Structure 1
Amino acid sequence: MDIHILAPKAGEDYPTDWNEFLTWFASEEACLSYLERLRWPAGFVCPACSCIDQPYRSSRGRMVCRDCGHQCTVTAGTIFEKTRTPLRVWLAAAWYLTSQKQGVNALGLQRVLGLGSYQTAWAMLHRFRAAMVRPGRERLHGKVEVDETYLAISDRQNPVAAKGRKNNTAKTLIVIAVEMLEPKGFGRIRLQRIGDDSAASVLPFVEQAIEPGATVHTDGSAAYRTLRELGYLHQRTVLLGLDIAAHASMPGVHRVAALLKRWILGTHHGAVQPAHLDAYLDEFVFRFNRRSSSSRGMLFYRLLQQAVVTSPVTYGDVVKKTRARSKNSE
C-alpha cells in the first residue's frame, strides 16, 4: 500500500493546533502509538518475515512477531532508533520545525524546547532533514527551467568539529530545476550540488529530476546540447546579447535561487557546513514544494510519515561528514 496516496484529515490524523498537539501527545505511550499507526497503517508487519498480524507486546514497548518470534520496537530502523531523547520532545521538534514558515536553526530549536545542548538540537534537525526526501517521488514534468547558480556559505567552525578552524566563505555550484505553470506561476522544484557546469554533472541531474518528454528550458550552455537525444524537448535561450535580462527570460530559476540564498542567510545566517549543504537543500525543496499547504499540521504529518520509513541517521554519521571533509581539505 502506498501510504502517500491516502488523504489525511485534520483532527483525525494530525493535530490542528498546538493545544490539540499537547492533548494528543501527553505521554510517551501516546507518541509510540501514533508513530506505530504511521509506520504500519494497515497493521503491524514483521520487519523480519513480513508476517501481517497483531504482535505480542512485551515490556519497554517491544513487539514480538507471532510467526517467527522476531522482536522489534516502533522506532527500530527509523530516524528515532536508539534515541535517548523522549519521543514527546521529538514530536514537539517536528511540530515546531514544520510550523515555522522559514524553518528553524539549531540554536532556535534548543531554546524553544529547552534542550540541554546545542549538539542535540543540531543532530535532531539533521535527522529530520534526512526524512524530507521521499524515495520514488514523481519527477518534474511539463515545462521545466534548468540553470545553475553559485551559493556562498560561511564555513564556520561547527560545534562538533575540531577547534581552531578559520571562518571561510565557500562558493558552491547548485543546479536548479523549476516546473513552470501556465499561464503563470511555479510548480515543484529540485536542487542539487554539483562539482562543475559540465554535461557530465548537469545531465544526470536532469535525468533524475525531470520526466522524459518534458520541455527543458535552458540558457545557451553547451552542456545541455544532447537533451533531445535523452528524450526531452529542448528550448534553448542564448542570453549573450539578448535585450531582456536573464531573470526575465528564465524567471523560475532566478526566483528560486534568490529565495534559497535569502533562506540560507536569514534562517541559518549563511553558516552552513559545506559537508551538510545537501541536507539543507533537501529541506528547502521540502518546504518550497509544500508552500501552498494551508495546514501546518499536514506538514507535520508528512514529515513524521517519512521519518518512520527512513533509515537511522546517528549523531556519529552526521559528525563523520564534517570530519571527513575537514580531513580532505587539510
Structure 2
Amino acid sequence: MDIHILAPKAGADYPTHWNEFLVWFATDEACLAYLEKLRWPAGFVCPACDCADHPYRSSRGRMVCRHCGHQCTVTAGTIFEKTRTPLRVWLAAAWYATSQKQGVNALGLQRVLGLGSYQTAWTMLHRFRAAMVRPGRESLHGKVEVDETYLGISDRQKPIIAKGGKNNTAKTLIVIAVEMLEPKGFGRIRLQRIPDDTAGSVLPFVQQGIKPGSTVHTDGSAAYRALTELGYLHQRTVMLESDVAAHVSMPGVHRVAALLKRWILGTHHGAIQPAHVDAYLDEFVFRFNRRSSSSRGMLFYRLLQQAVVTGPVTYDDVVQKSALGQEI
C-alpha cells in the first residue's frame, strides 16, 4: 500500500497544537502505538515473510509473526532503531522541528528539549533529514528553470588562517530546478550538490528530477545542449551582454537560491560541514515543497510517516565523512 495515498485529518491523525500533542504522547507506549499505526496502516505485515496477520505480542514491545515466527519491533529497521532516547523525546523533536517555519539547529533543539548532549540533538536532526526524501516522489514537470549557484558555508573543521582571523569559507556548487507556475508563482523544487557545472554533472540531475517532455529553461551554458536529444524542450536564455537582468529572465532559480542562502545563514549561521550539505539541501526541499501547508501538524505527520519506512541511520553513518563539527 502506498502510504502517501492516505488523507490524514487534523485532530484525528495528528495533533493540531502543542497541548494536544502532550495529551496524545504522554507515554512511550502511546508513541509506540502511533508509530505502529503509521508503519502498518492496514495492520501488521511481517518484515520477513510479508504475512498480514495480527502478531503475538511478547515482552519489551516485541511482535512475533504467527506464520514464520519472526520477531521484530515497531522501531526495528527505521531511523529509531536501537535508540536509547525515549520516543516521547523523539516525537517532541519532530514536532518542534516541523512547527518552526525556518527549522531548528542542533543547539536550539538541545536547549528546548533539555538533551544531555549536543551530539544527541545533532544526530536526531540528521536522522530526520534522512527521512525527508520520499522514495518514488513525482518528478518535476511543465516548465522548469535549471541553473547553478555557489553556496558559501563556514567550514569549522579547517584551521583559522591567522590569529584573530575568520573561519574559512567553503564554496559548494549547487544545481537548482524550480517548477514555474502559470500565470505566476513557483511549484516544487529540487536541489543537489554537484562537483562542477559540466554536462556530466547537470544532465543526470535533470534526468533524475524532471519528467521528459517538460520545458527546461536554462542560461546559455553549453552543458545543457543535449537536453533536446534527451527528450526535453529546451529554452535557452543567453545572459552575457543581455539587457535583461538574470534574476528577471530566470526568477525561479534566483529566488530559491536567495532563500536557501538566507536559511543557511539564519537558521544554521552558515556553519555546516561541506560533507553534510546534501542533508541540509534535503531538509530545505522538504520545507519549501510543503510551504503552503495550512497545518504544521501535517508536516509532523508526513515526517514521521516517512521516518518509519526509512532505514536506520547511526551516529557513525552521519560522521563517517568528516569529524563532527559544532554546527550551531
Distance 2:235 2:143 in 1: 9
Distance 2:241 2:319 in 1: 47
Quote the residue 1:91 is aligned against: 91
1:280-295 residue pairs with structure 2 within 5 A? Answer: 280-295=280-295
Quote the residue 2:111 is aligned against: 111
Distance 1:218 1:317 in 2: 36
CA deviation profile, 1:92-115 (whole Å, cap 9, x unmatched): 000000000000000000000000
Residue 280 of structure 1 and its aligned partner are, at CA, apart by 0.1
SS in 1 for 2:284: helix
1:63-212 residue pairs with structure 2 within 5 A? Answer: 63-157=63-157, 165-166=159-160, 167-212=167-212
SS in 1 for 2:320: helix
Distance 2:15 2:215 in 1: 40
Residue 6 of structure 1 and its aligned partner are, at CA, apart by 1.1
SS in 1 for 2:148: strand
SS in 2 for 1:110: helix
CA deviation profile, 1:212-232 (whole Å, cap 9, x unmatched): 000000000000001000000
Quote the residue 2:4 is aligned against: 4
- CA-based RMSD: 1.2
> TM-score, normalized by length of structure 1?
0.95
> Which amino acid in the other structure matches residue 204 of structure 1?
P
Residue 239 of structure 1 and its aligned partner are, at CA, apart by 0.6
Structure 1 residue ranges (4+ consecutive) displaced by more than 6 angstroms after TM superposition: none
> Which amino acid in the other structure matches residue 78 of structure 1?
T
* Matching of residue 26 in structure 1 with residue 26 in structure 2: yes
Residue 143 of structure 1 and its aligned partner are, at CA, apart by 0.1
- Size of the alignment, in residue pairs? 319
> Which amino acid in the other structure matches residue 36 of structure 2?
E
Distance 1:136 1:247 in 2: 32
* Matching of residue 213 in structure 1 with residue 175 in structure 2: no
Distance 2:6 2:32 in 1: 21
Distance 2:174 2:219 in 1: 15
Quote the residue 2:38 is aligned against: 38
> Which amino acid in the other structure matches residue 60 of structure 1?
R
Residue 321 of structure 1 and its aligned partner are, at CA, apart by 2.0
CA deviation profile, 1:195-248 (whole Å, cap 9, x unmatched): 000000000000001000000000000000010000000000001111010000
> Which amino acid in the other structure matches residue 108 of structure 2?
G
Residue 156 of structure 1 and its aligned partner are, at CA, apart by 1.1
CA deviation profile, 1:237-273 (whole Å, cap 9, x unmatched): 0011110100000000000000000000000000010
Distance 2:29 2:300 in 1: 19
Residue 324 of structure 1 and its aligned partner are, at CA, apart by 11
Quote the residue 2:62 is aligned against: 62
> Which amino acid in the other structure matches residue 238 of structure 2?
V
> Which amino acid in the other structure matches residue 204 of structure 2?
P
Distance 2:49 2:168 in 1: 51
Quote the residue 2:262 is aligned against: 262
Unaligned stretches of 5+ in structure 1?
A: 158-163, 326-330
* Matching of residue 318 in structure 1 with residue 318 in structure 2: yes
> TM-score, normalized by length of structure 2?
0.96
Per the alignment, do residues 294 and 58 of structure 1 end up closer, same or farther by CA in structure 2, a change over 3 Å counting? same
